[in-house]
Amino acid sequence: MDGEPLANALRAPGIPAGVAEFVGATFKAIEAKGDHPAVSVFTHGREDLLPDIFVQLVENLADNAPEQWGLFLHYLKRHIEVDGERHGPISHALLERVCGQDEGRWKEAEIAARAALQARIDLWDAILAQIEARKAA
């Protein structure tokens, strides 16, 4: 889909609606005026959130079949370390830098973060609905 506008690419066959909506919401923050909405989405919608999700996934995989998931478990554990120890604090520092003392920027950053978190919830709900639909079929 090289050269296709994002909206067209997201309507391609095989792209689940929930994924398209999530990607669209992410790009809305990226394309917003100023850097602070995108930095906020990155900070609160990814760096603060994903390490906790990965910890739960790692624990589940390690408990159920560690030998089957060895390399993937290593990847996830490393991702958790890097996000939790380095990327998280750096992203917060970047957000503080781009928002500074500007209350308006902080409010816009908060709105963007809330939208990103809701988009992620909607994505996981859509994934769960697809899983349940396949089980029922």
SS3 content of the chain, % helix, strand, coil (to 5): 80, 0, 20
What is the per-residue pLDDT for 56? 80
**Which pLDDT does position 59 carry in this prediction?**
80
Count of C-beta atoms within a 10 Å radius of residue 31: 10
Residue 1: the pLDDT is: 55
Question: Which is higher by pLDDT, 3 or 135?
Answer: 135
Mean pLDDT of 42-48: 85
Domain spans in the chain, listed from the N-terminal domain onward: 6-136
Tell me: pLDDT of 115 over 80.
yes
- Is the pLDDT assigned to residue 93 strictly greater than 90? yes
Q: What is the pLDDT of residues 22-36, one digit of tens each?
A: 999 999 888 988 999
Please tell me the predicted confidence (pLDDT) of residue 137. Answer: 86
pLDDT single digits (tens) 46-81? 887 777 777 887 888 778 877 788 788 888 888 788
Closest CA to 22 of 113, 126, 120, 130: 120
| d(C-alpha 59, C-alpha 45), whole Å | 22
3-17, 74-88, 106-120, range with the lowest pLDDT: 74-88
For residue 48, the model assigns a pLDDT of 79
Distance CA 69, CA 36 (A): 37
